[in-house]
Amino acid sequence: ESCRCPFPSVCKILWLNPCKFSFFRVMIEENYTKERKIPMSDCIFCKIIAGEIPSATIYENDEFKVILDRFPSGEGHALILPKNHVPNVFEIDPAQAGRAYALAAKLARAMKEVLGFTDMNILQNNGPIAGQTVFHFHIHLIPRREDDGINVTWTPGEPTDEQIAAVQAKLTNLI
């Protein structure tokens, strides 16, 4: 069955057909129409963190909750959620982002040992063009196996040395 939802690019990103999941499709539509600035009271991840929506929690501390993705790309696909509502990497406190990635490294090692996969994608999308569908910062931990059918790739560009130098000049000494 082909996707009939208004966001077919989201289907490709999430490796699923939201048309089969009407609740999920509505959530995506609402997030897109709210211009990525949804209040905490409407945030599905805030509701999961608050216990209003059930989740399969695999780890929790005072700052983060880690759950299995309800619509996973494969076995063990997990999400690291900060308990405070922050929309994206542009707005998260850098120290908190560092702690989130430190947690990702610890979880990745433990998950690899328990689930026996060979590789892992660690993804974090920011904004709809980048594939973000829930506007609450989160990190995807996606276990990978040979021939799993998951595709997280792009076509490499071929910039000239001058183009690279121009971008380098813009970005050098930003922080």
Which of the following is catalytic: 77, 85, 136, 138? 138
Residue 41 backbone phi and psi in degrees, to 5: -65, -20
Residue 73, classed as helix, strand or coil, is coil
Please, are residues 84 and 93 in contact by the beta-carbon 8 Å criterion? no
Residue 123 CB contacts under 8 Å (≥ 6 apart), including other chains: 139, 140, 142, 152
Among 134, 141, 70, 130, CA closest to 100 = 141
To the query of whether residue 138 is one of the catalytic residues in this protein, the response is yes
**Residue 56: how many CB atoms within 10 A of its CB?**
10
Query: Which active-site residues does the annotation give?
Result: 138
